[in-house]
Amino acid sequence: MTILQTFSPEVDFCPSCGALLPALTAKGDVICVVCKYVVPSSLFDEKEVRYIVHFNSQENTKKKKKSQDDDQADGPVIERKCPKCGHDQMSYAAIQLRSADEGQTVFFTCLKCKYKESENS
C-alpha cells in the first residue's frame, strides 16, 4: 500500500496580534480570527513538502520467534545484566514521573528472577 501525502510545513502568525492564522486553502487573503487583520496571500510561501509512505505487506515481514522469556516480559527486552542474579536480559518501561523539564524514570525487570530496579535519566 502506498500513500502520497502533501502538506505545508509552515505555520504562519498574524503580524498584528501574533495569533495563529487559519490555513491558506484557496487563493485570496487570509483574515485573522482574533483581530480581523487582513493578510495578503502574496505573503505566504508557496512551499510544499511531498512524501510517499510505502507499507510492507504482512507476508513480506518476518515473524520473530518468541522465546519463553519474551512471554513473561513487562515491556521491550534489552541486554542488561541483572545485579542480583547476573542474567543478561531485562525488560524495561519508561515513565515520566518528575516534571516535564526533567528526564524520565526507567524501570528494569530481570526476565529470570524478576528483580526490579529504576534509573533516572
Domain range summary for the chain, segments of one domain joined by +: 2-59, 68-120
Residue 26 contacts residue 60 (beta carbons within 8 Å): no
Instruction: Check residue 89 and give its pLDDT.
Output: 92
User: What would you report as the CA-atom Rg of the chain, rounded to the nearest whole angstrom?
Assistant: 25
Retrieve residue 48's grid coordinates: 510544499
Instruction: Check residue 84 and give its pLDDT.
Output: 93
Architecture of domain 68-120: Single Sheet (2.20)
pTM of the model: 0.42
CA distance 95 to 52: 33
What's CA 29's distance to the chain center, in Å?
Answer: 34
Over residues 57-104, the pLDDT tens digits come to 666 555 554 454 445 676 889 999 999 999 999 999 888 888 888 889
Q: How confident is the model at residue 111 (pLDDT cuts 50, 70, 90)?
A: very high
